[in-house]
Amino acid sequence: MKDRFAKFSTWDSLLSALSTLRHVSASYRGSNDCTGWHLCQNTKRASELKKTERFILRCVQRQDFKAELEVIEGKHYLPRNRRIQDLSPYIDDVGLLRVGGRLNDLQGSGLASLNHVIVPNGHVASLLVHFFHNKVFHQGRAITEGAVCSHGFWILGGKILNSSIIYSCFVCRKLRRTPQEQKMADLPLDRLTPGPPFTTVALDVFGPWPVVTRKTRGGSAQSKRWAVLFTCITTRAVHIEVKEDMSSSCFINAL
């Protein structure tokens, strides 16, 4: 069963497909009001999706933690060489392996979600991390880990798995990519050839500025002025000339 989960690329598609198959299987057994092969809207209910989620996690745990489950079901202590021994695992009422702790007596109060479901590192764990990483809008590793834990999942090797998924995420690589720096071109020959100032000139025009040209009876008359910036290419000396308009004749006079 676990190998068949690898055919799905998203957690949503896996939940939807398994929920439909389980509903159809129950229909043939007569466990519900539906009959035969069909597509039913009941498979999209939150309760049905939750049951399907538990079914998927049970299948994964039964295959990866078979020996550990047999030891815990026999009420024996796990050997120290087991990778989940430090988590004090226990089996809940629905057959899921959860992280233990000091709050186990609160299970009857509906607080079993405080003990996270142990998820082995694999394809299903990758689907979960991808799902919650998209749900938090491609935030960093800490926020993705918090989203996974807040929904009741404890993934073995979760830090390395989160880092590898975020590193391979196309959207994250675009958002967090180091900006490229433009390589400067070679200096032109005019910048490297010694000579008298203003032998080779670069220029630019900037403005305009409003200036008072004459006083009138009702106030003052304003006009616009521009400035031409001459820069020596060799010595970087600067000279500024004022021009009255943007016509060619004014520019020639300034030049």
User: Is 1 inside any structural domain?
Assistant: yes
Average of per-residue pLDDT across 50-60: 92
Q: Which of the listed residues 58, 74, 89 is the one where a domain comes to its end? A: 58
User: Is 67 inside any structural domain?
Assistant: no
User: Is 24 inside any structural domain?
Assistant: yes
Q: Which of the listed residues 30, 58, 86 is the one where a domain comes to its end? A: 58
User: Is 220 inside any structural domain?
Assistant: yes
Cα angle 169, 173, 177 (rounded to 5 degrees) comes to 170
Domain count, the chain: 2
Q: Which amino acid is at 242?
A: V
**pLDDT of 189:** 86
User: Is 105 inside any structural domain?
Assistant: no
Q: Is 247 exposed, middle or buried (0-12, 13-18, 19+ CB in 10 A)?
A: exposed
User: Is 146 inside any structural domain?
Assistant: no
User: Is 71 inside any structural domain?
Assistant: no
Buried b (16+ CB within 10 A) or exposed e, 137-152: ebbebeebbebbeeeb
DSSP 8-state secondary structure symbol assigned to residue 156: T
Q: Which two tokens stand for residue 6?
A: 């690898």
> What whole-number percentage of the chain has pLDDT above 90?
38
CA quadruple 148, 150, 154, 157: dihedral sign: positive
Assessment of whether the complete model's pTM goes beyond 0.85: no
Q: Which of the listed residues 58, 74, 107 is the one where a domain comes to its end? A: 58
pLDDT, greater one: 7 or 2? 7
Determine the structural domain holding residue 15 and report its residue range.
1-58
pLDDT, greater one: 24 or 123? 123
pLDDT, greater one: 109 or 41? 41
Q: Could you read off the pLDDT of 100-146 as tens digits, one per residue?
A: 877 766 655 455 567 899 999 999 999 999 999 999 999 889 999 99
User: Is 129 inside any structural domain?
Assistant: no
